[in-house]
Structure 1
Amino acid sequence: MASVHSLQPPASGHGSSRADRASVRPSHHRRHLGVAVLLFAVTWGCSSGGEGPPATSAVAPGMTATPGVAVAPVTQVARSTGGMVSTASVPATAVGASVLAAGGNAADAAVAIGFVLSVTEASMSGIGGRSAIIVRTPDGEVYGIDGLNQVPAGFSEGEGAEGYERATVPGVPAALEHLRSRFGSWESAPLLEPAVALARDGFPLAGGEARRWNGAAEELAAFPGSAPYIQPEGREWQEGDHVRLPVKARVLETLAIEGIEAFYHGWIADSIQADMERSGGFVTRGDMEAYRALTALPVEGTYRSHTVLSNFRPASGHAVIQALQTVEQLEEGRSAPASRLHGALLLGESLRHAIEDRNRVMGDEASSARHLTSPEYAQERATEIRRSRSFAAAVLAPDQAVPAGRTTAPGPAATATGHALPGAYRASFVPALRYAPGTLVTDPSDREATTHFTVVDADGMVVSVTQSLGPSLGTRVASPSLGFLYATRLGTEPGSRPSSTISPTIVLDPTGNFLMALGGAGDARIISAVTQVIHAAVGRGLSLEAAVAEPRMHPLDEDEMRVEEGPISTWSAAEWDELEGMDLQVAPSPSGYFGRVHAVGWDGSLFLGVAEPRWEGSAAGPQP
């Protein structure tokens, strides 16, 4: 069992001084990553959704790698003995792996990645956004960081319908600096250099970014500072377009020269306040100066003798733990092992309750955390599921799963999914999305703006980070003098940090050793995707690569279940047929609807990095 420590934030609010840290590496490890764009050994390309990036190698000019260490090719699945990085962006993955190859640790690599993503995946996260981080050190210390957005102190409830009114106090820079100062071995300047270079000199636009920027063009056009994200004269962005963000580069360069504190003080804070005053926003310099990255309340649970670690509110790692412990209770009550479909349905019901419960208050926060992640509460929820769901009863008793009297004619699923599936009994199939079957694009009403990345170094430090703007491109607002997008406010109480579904997670094997770390993007689908990957890997014994690729479900409302129908992953024809026999409203949904997971695992001899196959993403690690 891991030791979990609840530590207080450093007195400075943004991390302890380097002199206070006992684990500072010698100065020869603080290498520069270069001040120009990354140079790739082969063509640097960013793939369209689902196809994955081409195999590439990356180093940065001026970087001195550890002798005999190189960076492995960047792919969607990678293996290494020297550590591993998995992110949603090829440049970010390359930078993170290069930091590890140059002697940096997992915290150093994560900081560099976090800032690069604010450039190369600006629709999903950025320095104007929020962050949740969980760290496990080689000696077993577990530490969480709360860098969630804060509602401005002067916010007036009833306001905040659009634009600047929705903007919040950013948390990402403070969270990354807290991580670096507490666990890193490098100064901040070299870790910011790749992001500065990419913003200043340019990068090839990924296909997913192009689609998201194009989809929000009309809203972005309402704000002059958001102009860098719009093509002139009504043109659309294309995958591979060369993009430069010089205004954002200036901000990042200021942070590299003056330190992260400069984001919350000085000319940047003054610019934010002036922009807000002109445009009806609420964020002030006082809000910026008062912001602190806090120590998160850790949560811990078990699933099949494995330890699951995450952060409590305002993150939602406790929902992942509750769902896993509930489904274990349900599966143990069966007379025979659950099939893949039955296990997924039981997990779906467990997730339905866990997602509903994630903001439930049971005393103070520490008491609520203990209660919601307790085996006793999971047992209560499992009992309710057994009693309340007729389809769950059929799944728990396999001989009742396919009632007599079913037809062999194509059922309602044939119309909804485009598959000629036999059988029609009790399920009601509803079109979940407006898109044709086979599309990878999500419904515009389900826009999300979140990214997750995972880093593990050769010494065993694990860092799992989720960053978000929420929804896609956040408020759509960027200050003309700053260039970064502000995240959307999730609540209305001044000074609060509203709850988010982000759930960075670490899993240990029954002996307490690292097994995997992961997280996701996609609003509440973060919780379901992370939980389903752990369920498939630990509960069904799949490899991490196979577990991430398994078809998914996501519960909605009281009866509806979104069910993945391709094109990246789907259920078998027999499983679709069986679904029609369930007392359930089934909503077939494209692969792109479901959460975007990035994970790193350990198989006893190699680190395995897995990027989400339903979206763009990549993994790479140093190769001794």
Structure 2
Amino acid sequence: MSAQALRPPALATGGMVASSHPLASQAGARVLADGGNAVDAALAMAAVTWLTLPGQCGIGGDAFAVVRDPDGTVWTVNGSGYGPDGGTSAFYRERGFDAIPLDGALAVAVPGAPAALSALHARGASRPLPELWEAAARLAERGLPCSAKTRTDVRTALTAIHGDAGLASVYTPGGTVPHVGERLPQRDLADTIRVLARDPKSFYAGSLAERCVAALQAGGAPFTGDEWQAGAEVAVEAALTGSYAGATVHQTPLPTPGWMVLQQAALSDGVLASEQWLGATAVDRMARAATIAFEDRLRWCGSDNDGADRALTPANIAAGRARLENRSPVGAFTVSGGDTTSLVAVDAEGRAVSFIHSLAFTFGAKFTVPGTGIVLNNRLGRGAYLMDGHPNEVAPRRKPLHTLNAWIVTDSAGELKHVGNTPGGDGQVQWNFQLLSHLLDHGLDPQQAVSAPRFTVFPGSDADVLGQPTELRIEERVPEEIRSSLAERGHRVTTLDAFGADGSAQVVSLDERGVLLGGSDPRQEGVALGVEF
């Protein structure tokens, strides 16, 4: 491992935050130090990441959170939106598409982030949003220096950025890719942040909503505006729960794939702790469990049916465990990465937040709403299928399936143990389970867990990659003899660079002494910061 990977966990007793960018973590730590709670910190950090990681997240994306209150209550907010009211399979096929486009107006679903942030604030915050978001507005106004990550994202999406006047004006000033350190002011976005801080639901009704819908209609998307207004309400929901290694895992419900983490846990509970950590038998078990989960997702699941419940039934779990024990063949599907960012916050009262938000792919649909600074997601293009009769077939007022999920772990008495998450498309559900195994089966501290060698099965079920060849992608820090053993067990192994598996995991744990330990993934430039009072 590199020296960065070997750094010790952050330590604190007053509170802790972790994110994929130092400035976001600093914003959250400052809120905690000033007396705000973990929800306040998460809201402040989320807004700052709109500036520090603009390719990954934004007002025009989706957002999800799991929150544990000091009394042990765990709740979630799930901010994803509908596709357009005119968005039927026939609509896209009549225009010559065999899959929903990934760029432009046709790729967009109603953003769920503003509604989710509003619900999160209403239920758990102690500070007003204008106070929590003013730092982000000021950053947008004066321009944040371009980071290496943002420069890379701009180069990745350069052609599409040049095709959108709003993106080009910010991210290719003078027609060229910005240099690291070059300020990128976004005055329109600063104004929008301040408007939404006063009333996040103004995103869904009134002049701002009308501008969003008009831009999409002009781009050919069949939005009516009614589905936009319907996206304003996000109800607080109970978490989806399961058990693993004697602990309770709380996950985000549909349309997220949180159930897939719980399914992998159920398929592997009681097995991995006695196996060599990241040995061939353990990796084989986890990879095959992930493949079963993707198989069930593709076969059964939509955002508005009982597919996840079917996958988690005792009978289906027993059948899956039998397949794993007998090494019966599992199906072949495909998975792709994604551009997302996540963060965690814990305060001195034991309140914990796991938060994740995304535009889907880099800069989403590469489509901005003129005069607002808002970049819209491409979640519909990424998540919905053009497969007749499939439970995830695109349909009016049906939310496409999601890749984002977040989790909190408590003990049998409901006390906080761990809070974490990671971005990474369909890698998320795999890496999140790997994190749980590292923490609960093998006792790794948060920094060790997020730095550990990572692997990803390709199958998955993203709409744009169905049918690609199956493989097991694994970082080269897993010893060669283990990789060879996995190949002998039937895996098509692809070796990645030492930290080449993507993702940017964040974990904070509470130990038996009441000390918070935090870790931030060395695969990005994040940091965990503790606060003492």
Which bracket does the TM-score occupy, shorter chain normalised?
A: 0.7 to 0.9
Distance 1:175 1:390 in 2: 40
Q: Tell me if 1:459 matches 2:341.
A: no
Distance 1:518 1:175 in 2: 19
Residue 103 of structure 1, aligned match among 35, 45, 49: 35
Residue 452 of structure 2, aligned match among 550, 555, 574: 550
Deviates most, 522-531 or 78-87: 78-87
Aligned residues of 1:272 and 1:283 also touching (Cα < 8 A): no
Q: Tell me if 1:383 matches 2:322.
A: yes
Distance 1:367 1:280 in 2: 33
Q: Tell me if 1:306 matches 2:247.
A: yes
Q: Tell me if 1:268 matches 2:228.
A: no
Aligned residues of 1:134 and 1:310 also touching (Cα < 8 A): yes
Distance 2:118 2:36 in 1: 15
Q: Secondary structure at the match of 2:321?
A: helix
Q: Which residue of 1 aligns with 2:97?
A: none
Structure 1 residue 286 displacement after superposition = 3.0
Distance 2:110 2:3 in 1: 36
Residue 311 of structure 2, aligned match among 351, 372, 386: 372
Which AA in structure 1 matches 2:532? Answer: Q
Q: Tell me if 1:578 matches 2:485.
A: yes
Q: Which residue of 1 aligns with 2:110?
A: 169
Structure 1 residue 477 displacement after superposition = 0.7
Q: Tell me if 1:345 matches 2:284.
A: yes
Which AA in structure 2 matches 1:530? Answer: N
Aligned residues of 2:337 and 2:426 also touching (Cα < 8 A): no
Distance 2:505 2:181 in 1: 24
CA deviations over 1:555-600 (Å, ceiling 9, x no partner): 124994433334xxx1124323433433221111233333321121
Distance 2:357 2:328 in 1: 36
Aligned residues of 1:148 and 1:497 also touching (Cα < 8 A): yes
Q: 1:141 to 1:359 in 2, by over 3 A?
A: farther
Which AA in structure 1 matches 2:444? Answer: L
TM-score scaled to structure 2, two decimals?
Answer: 0.86
Which AA in structure 1 matches 2:189? Answer: K
Q: 1:266 to 1:562 in 2, by over 3 A?
A: same
Residue 602 of structure 1, aligned match among 510, 521, 531: 510
Distance 2:453 2:413 in 1: 29
Q: Tell me if 1:188 matches 2:148.
A: no
Paired residues, number: 495
Structure 1 residue 497 displacement after superposition = 1.2
Distance 2:301 2:181 in 1: 50
Q: Which residue of 1 aligns with 2:424?
A: 522
Q: 1:607 to 1:375 in 2, by over 3 A?
A: farther
Q: Tell me if 1:619 matches 2:528.
A: yes
5+ residue gaps, structure 1, are 1-49, 54-74, 392-431, 433-444
Q: Tell me if 1:248 matches 2:189.
A: yes
Distance 1:561 1:540 in 2: 26
Residue 483 of structure 1, aligned match among 361, 373, 383: 373
Q: Secondary structure at the match of 2:344?
A: strand
Structure 1 residue 307 displacement after superposition = 0.7
Distance 2:327 2:290 in 1: 15
Q: 1:496 to 1:370 in 2, by over 3 A?
A: closer
CA deviations over 1:284-326 (Å, ceiling 9, x no partner): 5433322121334531111111111102210111110110111
Aligned residues of 1:125 and 1:467 also touching (Cα < 8 A): yes
Residue 201 of structure 1, aligned match among 142, 149, 160: 142
CA deviations over 1:420-467 (Å, ceiling 9, x no partner): xxxxxxxxxxxx9xxxxxxxxxxxx95522111111111011111111
Aligned residues of 2:9 and 2:446 also touching (Cα < 8 A): no
Distance 1:607 1:228 in 2: 43
**Radius of gyration: which is bigger?**
1
Distance 2:505 2:277 in 1: 23
Q: Secondary structure at the match of 1:302?
A: strand
Q: Secondary structure at the match of 2:367?
A: coil
Deviates most, 208-217 or 577-586: 577-586
Which AA in structure 2 matches 1:121? Answer: L
Structure 1 residue 215 displacement after superposition = 1.5
Which AA in structure 2 matches 1:622? Answer: V
Aligned residues of 2:445 and 2:517 also touching (Cα < 8 A): no
Q: 1:382 to 1:515 in 2, by over 3 A?
A: same
Distance 1:264 1:190 in 2: 22
Q: 1:378 to 1:446 in 2, by over 3 A?
A: closer
